[in-house]
Amino acid sequence: MFDNKTPLVSAVIVSYNRKEDIRETLSMLCQQRYKNIEIIVVDNASTDGTAAMINALGLPNLRLIQMEENAGVKAYNRGFEAARGEYILILDDDSFPAPDAIEKMIQKFDRYPAIGIVSFTVKDYSTYSTYINSATRTSAEDPVFNDDYIMSFHGAGAGVRREVIEKAGGYPEEFFLYFNETDMALRVCNAGFRIEAFADVICFHKSAPANRTSQRGPFYYTRNIFWTIWKNYPGVLMWKVTLLMLFYVFYYSFEQRTFLYIRALLDAVINVGRITRAPITMEIAKRFRMHYKTPFTMYR
Amino acid sequence: MMMRNILVIRCTNLQHLDKVFKRLRAEFPDAKTTLLTHRHGAAQAASYTEAVVVYPYTKNYGFFRGMKSLSEMNFDAVVIPVGNISGSGFLNVFLFTLTIKAALRFTCNSALELKPLPKRKIIALLFRNILYTTTSAMLTTVVSAVLLVGWPVFALLTKGDKRR
């Protein structure tokens, strides 16, 4: 089933009640130009028959892990533990790589040994047909790497060396959802690996409903940005950014007439015992480009 | 008004930008679009338009971080993609557009609505910002004083820190 001549890639996908989306994701993975792929789906206790559908597909290179409850990003870590590949491909259940993306991802890892995470360019799903039919694709020429600042990666499409997860750890399970990539990215960079985005390594992601004003996203995002700062930032910077974030919580609570951000802050404070502090170096913390305002642009 | 020359400022993710460009091409099929982006997004920007301008600063767009080359150009419109419905959180970009010569300004929100953003609205938002900033700064001072005195958890958390 798997060959020993090319590196094995483990695609890890967490599913939750998106049966038709993950069916398409699996179909697209089967159409990859690169063939030595194992697929690990961790189902977060879906109630829409996702697990039954996946079993019925009978894909020989697929393993299904079922969680007992919706455990959020913890499910990804179960997938990482089960992965046997030299490289791990992180996908959402509503995202999939372009047909040549995994092949290109491996080329990048081969060419740049210091890169620990290849961040895919995440395009909107609606552009897929144009991309496939387009004669001209983005040049495969790699950018000059930017040493001024470090960026996180997108959890809807990222390739990770297995040794990166072994050394730096996976997603923070206490986060449940959102901002988990940033927390992991800080640890990955602190462990000495680079994270680079490539314009020609592409995946496609379906959009959330455009006018959704869900409170879940901004709540977890706000709480988890506090936790990320408290976990990772060295002392003085941690205090400075905490004050800045406090200011933003009040500012955007006034502006958007909501208590949502104050609730998220209180949750972060009350449950601070769930996080374990392991500060990164000041050099990494200062170069890391974190968008402190993002949580406050998600609600209204 | 005939739109021939539009500047799009990249300040949301590429997935949103895909949809914004689709919307603009449908709305203004004959317009030339120029995309302003930070350096980390320059390679990706090339797939949207040939006219890519790289912002020379690593910090966010801001009124006091204008670009001479851009301020010498004339645009029919500046479009600011915003990742939510209201445009909340993008005032720094709105203020930055005041450094650019453009007849019209629009936001393009998560529902892909093109909403006019006249200069007077930006100024009004700035005044509101000053009010909220003052109030929030006072609240932050009070709360942080309480935290410093009464929340020993932080001290416990930082106990293991080593100077790096």
Quote the domain boundaries for residue A17: 9-205
Q: Which of A91-100, A127-136, B9-18 has the lowest mean pLDDT?
A: A127-136
ipTM: 0.87
Which of the residue ranges A172-181, A207-216, B44-53 would you say has the lowest mean pLDDT?
A207-216
Q: Give the confidence band of A214 by pLDDT, cuts at 50, 70, 90.
A: confident
Q: Let me know if residue A211 belongs to a domain.
A: no
Residues A20 and A151 in one domain: yes
Chains A & B: contacts with CB separation below 8 Å: 115
> Looking at A205, A240, A261, which one is the last position of a domain?
A205
Which element (helix H / strand E) includes A108?
Answer: helix A101-111
Task: State what percent of residues in chain A have pLDDT above 90.
Answer: 83
pLDDT at B164: 46
Residues A39 and A111 in one domain: yes
Within a domain: B131 = yes
To the nearest whole Å, the CA of B65 is away from the closest chain A CA by 18
Residue at a domain's end among A143, A177, A205: A205
Rounded to a whole number of angstroms, the distance from the CA of B69 to the nearest CA of chain A is 22
Residue A67, pLDDT > 90, answer yes
Residue A110: what are its φ and ψ, rounded to 5°? -65, -40
pLDDT at A65 over 90: yes
- The domain total for chain B is 2
Quote the radius of gyration of chain B (alpha carbons, Å): 20
Same domain assignment for residues B58 and B39:
yes
Give me the pLDDT at residue A246, please.
95
Residue that finishes a domain, picked among A173, A205, A237: A205
Is B110 in contact with A254 (Cβ distance < 8 A)?
no
The secondary element (H helix, E strand) that includes residue B45 is helix B42-45
Q: Quick check: is B164 in a domain?
A: no
Cβ-nearest to A124 among B15, B82, B83: B15
Q: Is residue A86 part of a domain?
A: yes
Other CB atoms within a 10 A radius of the CB of residue A66 amount to 16
- State the CB neighbour count (10 A cutoff) for residue A47: 9
| Domain-located, residue A269 | yes
A144 shares its domain with A277: no
pTM of the model: 0.91
In a domain, A162, yes or no: yes
Q: What is the CATH number of the domain that holds B27?
A: 3.40.50
Low-confidence ranges of chain B (pLDDT < 50): 163-164
Residues B16, B92 within the same domain: yes
A279 assigned to some structural domain: yes
Domains identified in chain A, total number: 2
Which range, of A137-141, A179-183, A293-297, B14-18, averages the lowest pLDDT?
A137-141
Cα torsion B58, B59, B60, B61: sign: negative
CA distance A98 to B102: 38
In a domain, A1, yes or no: no
Residue A158 has pLDDT above 50, yes or no: yes
Beta carbons of B45 and B33 less than 8 angstroms apart:
no
pLDDT tens readout for residues B103-134: 999 999 999 999 999 999 999 999 999 999 99
- A139 and B90 in contact by Cβ < 8 A? no
Whether A62 and A151 map to the same domain: the answer is yes
Residues of chain A in contact with residue B89, where contact means CB-CB under 8 angstroms, are: 252, 293-294, 296-297
Residues A152 and A242 in one domain: no
Same domain, A117 and A142: yes
- Do A90 and A32 fall into the same domain? yes
- Output the pLDDT for position A297: 81
- The predicted model gives A19-36 an average pLDDT of 96
Shared-domain flag, residues A113 and A134 = yes
* Domain range for B87: 5-117
- A198 shares a domain with A165: yes
**What is the pLDDT, as a whole number, of residue B153?**
65
